[in-house]
Structure formats: C-alpha cells, structure tokens
Structure 1
Amino acid sequence: MIRAGVLMLAAVSGGAALAATPDGSLEPPARPAAAAGFEAVLAPVPGMRPETRPQSEQRLAAAARPADLPLLAPGASLLPSARPDSLAEQVLFKRRQRRKGSVCGDIDIQGDDVGQISGTLPGCGAKDAVRVREIAGVRLSQASLMTCNTARALKTWINREVETAFGRRDKVVSLRVAAHYACRTRNNRPGARISEHGKARAIDISGFTLASGETVSVLHGWQNRKIRKKLKKIWRAACGPFGTVLGPESDRYHKDHFHLDVARHRGGTYCR
C-alpha cells in the first residue's frame, strides 16, 4: 500500500513539471529595426578597398640603400665594426712622432732640446734650455728658446684662457712672439740688471692668430673697448702661472705686447 502511494505521488509531480514547461521558444527575440539599420551601415560596401598605409621613413631609407651595401644579417651584432688596422696604425704613428718631438717630458710641448746656453754678459745663459715650436696645439710664430718652467707656464696659460679667449669656434692657433731669449739688460738700459730674457725665463707675446686667419694685436686690440676686455682676461689669466706679467698699462716699454716671465717675487706674482 505504501508502494502504491509513492507511485501516485511521482505521477502527480511529473504532471506538475509538464504543466510548468513554457510554451514559447527559448531563442532570443529578433533585434529591432534600428539595430538592423546599424548593421546595414557597418556592412562592407561592394567594390570598396582599404587605403594603402604611408611608408615609414625606415622603409624609404632601406629602399634608398646602395645596392652594394650588404644588409644586416638576422642575428648579426648591432655594434659598430672595428676600425681598420691601418687607421689605428696611423694614430699610433702620429702619437709616436709627437712624443719623439716633445721636450720637457710633455707630449704637448713640441720642440728640440738645446742644453746649456752661454751668455756674453755676466748673469746671462741657462741650463737645459729648449727651443719650442708648439705648445698645447698652439704654434709659436718663431721657435723660441726658454726653460722648461717657462714652457710649462705657457701651457697652463694657453689651456686656462688663451685658446678660447675669442670664442670656442674661433680658437687661437698661434702666438706672435715678439721676443724670447736674448742676453741683455732690462729694457736694454745700460747698467740695469740682467733681464729675465737673458736667463731664458721670459717671453713677449704681441698678438694672437685665430683659426679664421685674423690676428689680434695687443697694440691695436687694446684701443678697441670690446677686444681690450678679452685681452685683459688673457693678461689676468697669466698672473699665477707666471711670476711677472706686464701689459700696455704698465709702462711705455710694453705698449704693444705682454711680457711674461717665471721670476718669483717675495710679495707674490707681480702683475701690472
């Protein structure tokens, strides 16, 4: 009897489930007309083709590449190729030549060893003198006799101010030398003390030649307010590397040049 009841309950439940089943389709309803119109707008137009993209600069450059220039192979290194041995040999040869022509143990001071200089007046002369042609890439208008201390002071002065005094695009390439070693008294006055020129410890500079070919003279440049400002910077920069610095405003003997020497004074550098 219990079994009959269970069967009856199952039959009733099954009928209820069939009664709850929807009569309509489970598929989504059709889109409205507005949506259909939107699809029509997006639909491809017969005969229309996409526009060709503009070529990039890289592609144009590749097209202009010379035919004999090999393309970079896949997986090849992007590092630049090594310099040819001939170029390296040229650089080394030039450096060896400069070192061979250097004096005072400095490759930036080019010249010849002279050794001892004997003067005709007591107090003149120098030991281990050198004849300098070029310092720090700046030529001297004439090969000049001097001591190594004088040459080193010139190098410091050139690097500090002289080379770029008139602009980095128009550098000083040559110094006009008015005087170097000469066995004489100060300002050639009779009975005066021996000049530093007579000891190879002084040099007189009267002008500066630029890379453009122009030469700025101390005499005429000092009369131009704009150029005088640059010349004064050059004069001031010499105070320190040199012990004595005289210019156009010092006295009538130096109107047209800078006198530079490595003499040391008790009161320090003498600049006038």
Structure 2
Amino acid sequence: MIRAGALICIALWAGVASAEAPINAPAPPVRPTIAPDTLPRPLARPDGLIPAPSTPETDLAREAMATPASQYAVQTSTPPIARTGRVERRAAEIIAARARGMVCSDPDIQGEYIAPINGAGACGVDQPVRLRSVMGITFNDRPTIDCPTAIALKNWLSRSAIPVIGSEGGGLERLNLMGHYSCRNRNGAASGRLSEHAFGRAIDIGSFRLRDGSEISVLNDWGTRANGRQLREMHRGACGIFGTVLGPEANAAHRNHFHFDTARYRSGSYCR
C-alpha cells in the first residue's frame, strides 16, 4: 500500500516538471544583414531651404515673431542699419557746402555778400547780399537785397508759396523776378518818394516756374480758376511777413507782378 502511494507521487511530480520545462520551438530565421554602403541616403535639400546664417538682425526678427501678440505688448522693431562712412562723408560735404554759401546766418539762404551800395542821392544798401537760392528755389535774375528782406522772402516761401503750389508740376523751382534793388521812385515815376527798391528792401515777382517747365503767371493767371486761387493764397500769405504787399488789384502798375517790401508802418502791413 505504501509502495503504491509512492509511485503515484513520483508520477505527479514528473508531470509538473514536464509542464514547467521550456518548449523546444524552432528558432526564428536570421535577418539578412544590409551593408552600410547599400543603405539609401537622404535627398539633399534645395538651396532655398538651407537656413540662412544667423545674424543679430535675423535673431531680433525671430524673437519678435516668437513673442505672443498682445494688445498690451510693447512693439519692437529691428534697429536701423548703420550708415556707411561714405554716406556720412557725403552728408558732411553737403552741410559744409551750404555753410560756405550761406548768407544772413541762414543755410537756407544761399548767395554772397557784396560791397555796400552807395547810389545817387539817398539810394543805397549798407549790407547787401546777392542771392543764388532761397529754400532751394532759384531766380531768373539773382536779386540784390538786404538780409531782413531775404529772411522775409524765406519765411514766405516756406510758409506760403511752396506749400500752396505743392506737388503741382513737380513743385516750385524758380521765381521769375521783375525787380529788386533799383535807385528809382515809387511806381517808376519821374518824381516823388523813393521806392523801397532804392534801399534793397523790395522784390517783385512776375511768375512762378515749376519743375516740369510750366509757369503760373500773375498777369495771365490771376483771374483764372485754374491758378488764380493759388496766386491769391500766396498774395494773402505774404501779408504780415512783408510790410507792403501789392498785386494786380492794387493799381495798374502792379497788374503783372507781386510787389513785396519790408517797410514797416505803425498801422501794420499794407496789403492790396
């Protein structure tokens, strides 16, 4: 009886051992080895996709784009490109040239000082200048006047004539003059009081030449719709800058030009 039980136990242990033993399954097939030289290589990037080298400017641009947009965010921009030495030298040359040619202590007034004028009788100018340009505007005849009149002319050009004409015809290029210093009486009369022209304090303007070659004429355009408004605005703009302002409606002697002078009156500017 005892021997039969022992045989049963041995049989049970053999079954458990056979269940826990590894299964002798066939091994998987070995993968073929691929030589490194036969592996496919990645395609080269087109030139346009190659990233540009990093610079301070591009770094700033990337940072600006990467920053989340916000209505409260402070706007940033790339710094301006530094001017080259060549540009700076050219700018310095222009400034120096203007300084050499300026008169009346104003670089916008270009010309030269000339000797005092001692005319007949009371005619004459103590410190005359002969102008080449004012505010970049030239003349058909270089005028001889004094500095207060030259400064008044600059103020009128900058405040009235240049902005009134604006970009029409490319902008104002030249003043066509009909008079400046001249030892004569008022209105060219044979007798009477001397004109302000006799003291270098007056200038007469007959027309305005534009950059495209066209002209605005006091004689021909004062009464027209096309340019009459501009002429009237320029005439009105001179009042207060100059002491006397005369135009086509003042008298027959001024039907074809503007007369501006720097005479001063207790009652203020005389404008007709």
State the TM-score, normalized to the length of structure 1. 0.71
Give the corresponding residue for 1:268: 268
Give the corresponding residue for 1:175: 175
CA-based RMSD of the aligned residues comes to 2.0
- Separation in 1 of the partners of 2:256 and 2:52? 63
Give the corresponding residue for 2:84: 84
Structure 2 runs not aligned, ≥5 long? 1-46, 59-78
CA offset digits 1:230-262 (Å, max 9, x no partner): 100000000011000000000010010000000
Identify which range, 172-181 or 78-87, moves more after superposition. 78-87
- Separation in 2 of the partners of 1:197 and 1:99? 28
- Separation in 1 of the partners of 2:80 and 2:239? 47
Per the alignment, in what secondary structure is the counterpart of residue 225 of structure 1? coil
Q: Please show how residues 125-144 of structure 1 align to structure 2 within 5 Å.
A: 125-144=124-143
Matched, 1:151 2:131: no
Call closer, same or farther: CA 1:217–1:76 in 2, change over 3 Å. same
- Separation in 2 of the partners of 1:75 and 1:162? 48
Q: CA deviation at 1:266?
A: 1.8
Give the corresponding residue for 2:228: 228
Code of the aligned partner of 2:133: E
Q: CA deviation at 1:125?
A: 0.3
- Separation in 2 of the partners of 1:77 and 1:236? 52
Match of 2:53 among 73, 76, 87: 73
Q: CA deviation at 1:189?
A: 1.1
- Separation in 2 of the partners of 1:222 and 1:140? 21
Q: Are 1:201 and 1:261, in contact at CA under 8 Å, matched by a contact in 2?
A: yes
Q: Please show how residues 94-109 of structure 1 align to structure 2 within 5 Å.
A: 94-109=94-109
Q: CA deviation at 1:167?
A: 2.8
Per the alignment, in what secondary structure is the counterpart of residue 207 of structure 2? strand
Code of the aligned partner of 1:138: I
Identify which range, 132-141 or 241-250, moves more after superposition. 132-141
Call closer, same or farther: CA 1:73–1:264 in 2, change over 3 Å. same
State the TM-score, normalized to the length of structure 2. 0.71
Matched, 1:206 2:186: no
Per the alignment, in what secondary structure is the counterpart of residue 153 of structure 1? helix
Code of the aligned partner of 2:222: W
Call closer, same or farther: CA 1:239–1:74 in 2, change over 3 Å. same
- Separation in 1 of the partners of 2:128 and 2:250? 29
Q: CA deviation at 1:63?
A: 4.1
Identify which range, 222-231 or 144-153, moves more after superposition. 222-231
Q: CA deviation at 1:75?
A: 4.5
Percent identical: 38
Structure 1 runs not aligned, ≥5 long? 1-61, 65-70
